Amino acid sequence: MTTTSEATNNQALLVDLLERMSKAGSWTGETHLQKCVYFLQEMTTFPKAFQFVLYKHGPHSFDLHDELANMVANQTLVIEHSTTYGPTFGPGPYAQRLKQRCTAALAQHEATLDFAAHSLSPNDTGDLEMWGTAFYISKQNPNIAKEEQAIVINQLKPHIPFEEAMQALSSISYLEQQVQTEFQGISTL
């Protein structure tokens, strides 16, 4: 069970991640946010606040979806409408006040938030979906060969050809190495 202070810290971390993604020139829609939080939770010491399942576009957290809706309702986030792809999130009128209350949590996770903003979020949604699916499948099936994992990915997501699934698995291996190198001693891999 998440305590009130943990929930407040988690919201502040989401606001900060969103702001960093925006500053890095990334799209700040829900799909991008979902994938960044998934990778942060699974690859780093980022709080494991949200349960993820494999869904239409890769790992998805209904808990995170609900949390984002709550943050819009309490004006910590706002929905910004775009003419290109769809709605994005932006900091709401109470975002900075929330962040000021959670400076210790933000400082503790600054490096991982920067990593997500600069290494993950600039990628397009299709890549994040493939990588998230590949990582999810590789973690669910760690004892089978990469080729078999790619077959599973293709069976679950027929729009991802076997070759692209293999490429996604390679990209995830590279990402895991990058996390281990960048965060020596704080990775959960």
User: How does pLDDT run along the chain (189 residues), one tens digit per residue?
Assistant: 567 799 999 999 999 999 999 999 898 999 999 999 999 999 998 999 999 999 988 999 999 999 999 999 999 999 998 767 789 999 999 999 999 999 999 999 999 999 999 988 888 988 999 999 999 999 999 999 999 999 999 999 999 999 999 999 999 999 888 888 887 644 444
Q: Which residue type, as a one-letter code, is found at position 153?
A: I
Which H/E stretch holds residue 80? Answer: strand 77-80
Residue 35 has a pLDDT of 95
Query: What pLDDT, on a 0 to 100 scale, did the predictor assign at position 20?
Result: 96
- Number of residues that this document lists for the chain: 189
Tell whether 187 is covered by a domain: no
The whole-number pLDDT of residue 187 equals: 45
Determine the residue type at 80.
Answer: E
Residue 188 lies in a domain: no
Examine residue 101 and state whether it is found in any structural domain, yes or no.
yes
Number of domains in the chain: 1
pLDDT at 189: 44
1-52 pLDDT per residue, tens = 567 799 999 999 999 999 999 999 898 999 999 999 999 999 998 999 999 9
Q: Does any domain span residue 165?
A: yes
Q: Would residue 121 count as lying in a domain?
A: yes
From residue 125, alpha-carbon distances to 45, 84, 91, 122, 132 in Å are 24, 14, 21, 9, 10
Structural domain of 33: 4-182
